[in-house]
């Protein structure tokens, strides 16, 4: 006796991510978190062995990362980890400051205790990640902190602009969060943003956000200048 099945009963579920997407995440994280350093060659054969994927997938991954600004193709060298440009970094921080300052001010003016609570949760997770030296966790929860600010005031277009820069922002952030005292100073600066939002102080929240970005920018400038001096020595 044959059995009639509903179409959904035998449907093959698509995996959450394709092999290409998984490989892309792995290489991107390896660059952002410093496993691959700026200027390192990215040899297709070696990446195939390390990732356990085909050369076709590796080439697609490298092309995608090139479009994100994490990889560059050099004559006679092939793909390398892109060397961060100081002027470009400054521009990224300028955009961050303008948009994050706006979002912080709007959050304060909204006076929503749920926003404050969500930001406190993200900030607590950042501190916990620092405590166990989980830099990937720091990046993830920091991203969640800012996504909360933008989403709670319905500034999805602004968050979309930030998201376009997220990979390069995280590349810079991965450098700054490892510097001396950043594990305490960074969360303290973010706490000032939350406190101003809690008070409903729009100007104070905007200033706290701008101060935090300015501090990160100064650290990034120093790190990049040092890297440039070493490469030219």
Q: Tens digits of per-residue pLDDT, 123-164?
A: 999 999 999 989 889 989 999 999 999 999 999 999 988 887
Average pLDDT estimate for 111-127: 97
Q: Mean pLDDT, the chain, as a whole number? A: 88
In this prediction, residue 129 carries a pLDDT of 94
Check if the beta carbon of residue 99 is closer than 8 Å to that of residue 161: yes
Is the pLDDT score of 12 beyond 60?
Answer: no
Residue closest to 37 by CA, chosen among 142, 137, 178 = 178
Range with the lowest mean pLDDT among 6-20, 37-51, 67-81, 116-130? Answer: 6-20
Average pLDDT estimate for 35-41: 86
pLDDT band at 223 (very low <50, low <70, confident <90, very high): confident
In this prediction, residue 14 carries a pLDDT of 58
pLDDT digits (tens, 9 = 90+) for 183-195: 899 999 999 999 9
Average pLDDT estimate for 66-82: 86
In this prediction, residue 7 carries a pLDDT of 53
pLDDT band at 95 (very low <50, low <70, confident <90, very high): very high
Average pLDDT estimate for 206-231: 86
Whole-model pTM: value is: 0.77
Residue closest to 110 by CA, chosen among 227, 199, 216 = 199
- In SS3 terms, the chain reads as CCCCCCHHHHCCCCCCCCHHHHHHHHHHHHHHCCCCCCCCECCHHHHHHHHCCCHHHHHHHHHHHHHCCCEEEECCCEEEECCCCHHHHHHHHHHHHHHHHHHHHHHHHHCCHHHHHHHHHHHHHHHHHHHCCCHHHHHHHHHHHHHHHHHHCCCHHHHHHHHHCHHHHHHHHHHHCCCCCHHHHHHHHHHHHHHHHHHCCHHHHHHHHHHHHHHHHHHHHHHHHHHHHHHHC
Residue 114 token pair: 């749920």
In this prediction, residue 76 carries a pLDDT of 81
Is the pLDDT score of 182 beyond 80?
Answer: yes
Pairwise pLDDT comparison (148 vs 180), residue with the higher score: 148
In this prediction, residue 233 carries a pLDDT of 61
Q: How far apart are CA 127 and CA 163, in angstroms?
A: 23
Q: How far apart are CA 156 and CA 136, in angstroms?
A: 25
In this prediction, residue 89 carries a pLDDT of 87
In this prediction, residue 173 carries a pLDDT of 81
């Amino acid at each position: 006796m044959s059995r009639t099945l509903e179409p959904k009963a035998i449907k093959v579920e698509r995996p959450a991510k394709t092999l290409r997407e998984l490989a892309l995440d792995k290489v991107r994280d390896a660059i952002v978190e410093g496993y691959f350093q700026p200027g390192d060659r990215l040899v297709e054969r070696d990446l195939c062995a390390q990732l356990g994927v085909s050369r076709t997938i590796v080439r697609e991954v490298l092309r995608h990362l090139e479009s994100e600004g994490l990889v560059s193709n050099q004559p006679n060298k092939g793909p390398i980890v892109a060397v961060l440009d100081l002027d470009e970094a400054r521009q990224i921080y300028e955009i961050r400051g303008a948009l994050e300052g706006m979002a912080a001010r709007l959050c304060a003016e909204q006076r929503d205790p749920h926003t404050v609570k969500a930001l406190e949760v993200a900030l607590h997770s950042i501190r916990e990640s620092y405590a166990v030296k989980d830099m990937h966790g720091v990046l993830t929860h920091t991203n969640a902190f800012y996504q909360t600010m933008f989403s709670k005031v319905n500034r999805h277009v602004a968050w979309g602009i930030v998201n376009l820069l997220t990979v390069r922002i995280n590349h810079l952030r991965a450098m700054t969060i490892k510097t001396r005292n950043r594990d305490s100073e960074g969360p303290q600066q973010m706490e000032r943003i939350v406190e101003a939002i809690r008070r409903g102080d729009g100007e104070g929240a905007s200033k706290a956000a701008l101060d935090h970005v300015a501090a990160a920018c100064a650290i990034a400038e120093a790190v990049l200048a040092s890297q440039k001096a070493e490469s030219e020595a």
